[in-house]
């Protein structure tokens, strides 16, 4: 079906498995807690690099205070306790989600491929209101596949850099892979802010472009108004 002969809403279809919805919302809660506790940990040393040898990399928060309402833990030890308490459930639910995609074959509809580059550009033009008609799509459009692929890669970077900071001696090879302890800490810091930016953009686009997907992620059922070629 193409957009030229499409009219009316699509039929109600089952889009999101219960396990996908469960891990999605759990990880959203864990992520908020980890960012807040991470900011509390950051307050203990608000720079990157040694005191006499800073990294010199961009850091808008360098030396600045962070509002207490945005932090979790109250002090360094409290922030560390919260961070580690939430980190393991975050990793486990993430692995369960990825495992589900691999076992069911759902990953095929989510992985961004070279052939998705042009459709993703067309979809971005639609989001920017530079294209009038919504491009045809399957279960997920090319831009969504790019976002899903990116967020999984970003999650891996955040997790691995976190372990590199947590166990710099026992996992010395991993810490070295990130360029050393201070650079691993910076990678982790950047990953967190990209996560936050991605989340805000994701939520904004859901409400502005396709609010049906929010209902779908809650109930599992989706009734969109966009054309499909599946």
Going from N- to C-terminal start, the domains of the chain cover 21-46+62-104, 114-230
pLDDT in tens, 118-168: 888 888 787 777 777 777 666 677 888 888 888 889 989 999 999 999 999
Bridge partners for 13 per DSSP: 222
Name the nearest CA neighbour of 90 among 181, 192, 214, 216: 192
pLDDT in tens, 187-223: 999 998 898 888 888 888 788 777 877 888 888 887 7
Q: How far apart are CA 116 and CA 112, in angstroms?
A: 6
Phi then psi for 135, rounded to 5 degrees?
Answer: -60, 145
Q: How far apart are CA 13 and CA 222, in angstroms?
A: 5
Coil, strand or helix at 13:
strand
Q: How far apart are CA 139 and CA 110, in angstroms?
A: 9
Q: Copy the structure tokens of residue 10.
A: 């699509």
Indicate the pLDDT class of residue 33, thresholds 50, 70 and 90.
Answer: very high
- pTM of this prediction exceeds 0.85: no
| pLDDT number for residue 9 | 57
Indicate the pLDDT class of residue 3, thresholds 50, 70 and 90.
Answer: very low
Rg, C-alpha atoms of the chain: 20
* Mean residue pLDDT across the chain: 84
Q: How far apart are CA 198 and CA 148, in angstroms?
A: 11
**Contact between 226 and 137 (Cβ < 8 Å):** yes
Q: How far apart are CA 133 and CA 20, in angstroms?
A: 30
In DSSP notation, 167-208 reads: -TTTTHHHHHHTTSHHHHHHHHHHHHHHHHHHHHHHHHHHHH
């Amino acid at each position: 079906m193409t957009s030229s002969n499409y009219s009316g809403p699509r039929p109600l279809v089952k889009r999101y498995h219960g396990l996908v919805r469960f891990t999605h919302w759990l990880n959203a809660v864990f992520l908020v807690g980890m960012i807040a506790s991470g900011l509390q940990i950051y307050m203990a040393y608000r720079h990157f690099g040694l005191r006499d040898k800073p990294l010199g990399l961009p850091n808008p928060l360098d030396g600045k205070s962070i509002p207490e309402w945005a932090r979790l833990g109250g002090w360094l030890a409290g922030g560390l306790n919260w961070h580690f308490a939430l980190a393991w459930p975050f990793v486990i639910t993430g692995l369960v989600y990825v495992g589900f995609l691999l076992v069911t074959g759902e990953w095929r509809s989510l992985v961004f491929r070279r052939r998705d580059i042009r459709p993703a550009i067309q979809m971005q033009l639609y989001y920017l209101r530079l294209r009038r008609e919504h491009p045809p799509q399957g279960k997920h459009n090319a831009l969504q596949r790019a976002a899903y692929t990116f967020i999984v890669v970003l999650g891996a970077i955040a997790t691995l850099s976190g372990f590199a900071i947590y166990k710099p001696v026992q996992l010395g090879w991993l810490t070295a892979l990130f360029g050393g302890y201070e650079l691993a800490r910076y990678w982790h810091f950047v990953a967190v802010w990209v996560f936050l930016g991605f989340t805000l953009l994701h939520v904004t686009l859901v409400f502005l472009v396709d609010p049906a997907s929010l209902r779908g992620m809650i109930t599992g059922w989706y009734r969109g108004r966009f054309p499909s070629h599946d």
